[in-house]
């Protein structure tokens, strides 16, 4: 993750957006007032969904169990993705 100053960002905003969208880079823009991170919108959507899933204890426990199975080379039996995530579908 690269950090640039606000003055640099003002002169190359199009390039910063392109890097965030095309190259999937996160860019920190720092100023005297603080800093912000520029990242691809779809990446932000994924981050929000991940945070929502891990904040729910049942979903987080299911995720950890599935990772443990995967790490042992096993697959969960009997559940489709729709069944496994029925509580988080809109």
Tokens of 4: 């640039």
Which of these CATH numbers, 3.40.1160.10, 3.20.20.70, 3.40.720.10, 3.40.1620.10, describes 2-39? Answer: 3.40.1620.10
Grouped pLDDT means (10 residues each) for the chain, 90 residues: 94 94 94 96 94 87 88 81 78
Q: What is the pLDDT of residue 90?
A: 62
Tokens of 59: 């979903």
Domains in the chain: boundaries: 2-39, 42-88
Q: What is the pLDDT of residue 22?
A: 94
Report the largest interatomic distance among the alpha carbons of the chain, rounded to a whole angstrom: 56
Residue 49 neighbours by CB under 8 Å, 6+ apart: none
> What CA–CA distance (Å, rounded) separates 1 from 46?
18
3-state secondary structure (DSSP) of residue 31 = strand
Q: What is the pLDDT of residue 40?
A: 96
Q: What is the pLDDT of residue 41?
A: 96
């Amino acid at each position: 993750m690269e950090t640039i100053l606000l003055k640099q960002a003002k002169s190359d905003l199009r390039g910063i957006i392109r890097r965030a969208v095309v190259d999937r880079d996160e860019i920190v823009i720092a100023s005297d007032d603080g800093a912000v991170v520029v990242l691809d919108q779809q990446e932000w959507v994924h981050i929000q969904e991940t945070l929502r899933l891990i904040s729910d204890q049942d979903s987080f426990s299911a995720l950890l169990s599935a990772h443990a199975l995967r790490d042992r080379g096993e697959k969960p039996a009997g559940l489709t993705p729709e069944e496994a995530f029925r509580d988080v579908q809109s």
